[in-house]
């Protein structure tokens, strides 16, 4: 499944990465689970794939997706705590889980 994501859904530009909500050539609308979709790229799909890239040891994809999360998330470091301001509590919880995913053995 991970290879399917990287082959069919992943795109990058200027060292930023994003994951499409639907395969190239397919279109759809956002729903409660997908969150915002901009030009076919899903915020949730991109965020959750950060964890998959860590789990599979795909450092180049992880770095591109993390760069996009920082760009879109407006991170704030205060009192030793990193918050992504645009994601709210749920977005912060999801990014915490994805950024701390343990690589597969």
pLDDT band at 98 (very low <50, low <70, confident <90, very high): very high
Residue pLDDT, tens place only, 84-93: 888 788 888 8
Residue pLDDT, tens place only, 38-86: 888 988 899 999 999 999 999 999 999 999 999 988 888 889 888 888 8
Structural domain boundaries, residue 17: 2-99
Structure-token pair, residue 64: 């591109």
Q: Is 104 part of any domain? A: no
Q: Is 26 part of any domain? A: yes
Q: Is 86 part of any domain? A: yes
Length of the chain, please?
A: 105
Average pLDDT estimate for 13-25:
90
Burial of residue 55, with CB atoms counted within 10 A of its CB: 0-12 exposed, 13-18 middle, 19 or more buried: middle
Q: Tell me, what's the pLDDT at 59?
A: 94
Instruction: For the chain, give percent helix, strand, coil, nearest 5.
Output: 45, 20, 35
């Amino acid at each position: 499944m991970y290879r399917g994501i990287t082959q069919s859904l992943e795109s990058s530009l200027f060292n930023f990465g994003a994951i499409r909500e639907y395969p190239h050539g397919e279109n759809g609308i956002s729903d409660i689970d997908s969150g915002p979709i901009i030009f076919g790229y899903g915020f949730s799909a991109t965020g959750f794939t950060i964890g998959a890239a860590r789990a599979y040891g795909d450092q180049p994809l992880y770095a591109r997706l993390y760069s996009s999360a920082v760009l879109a998330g407006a991170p704030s470091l205060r009192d030793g705590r990193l918050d992504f301001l645009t994601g709210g509590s749920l977005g912060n919880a999801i990014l915490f889980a994805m950024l701390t995913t343990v690589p597969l053995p």
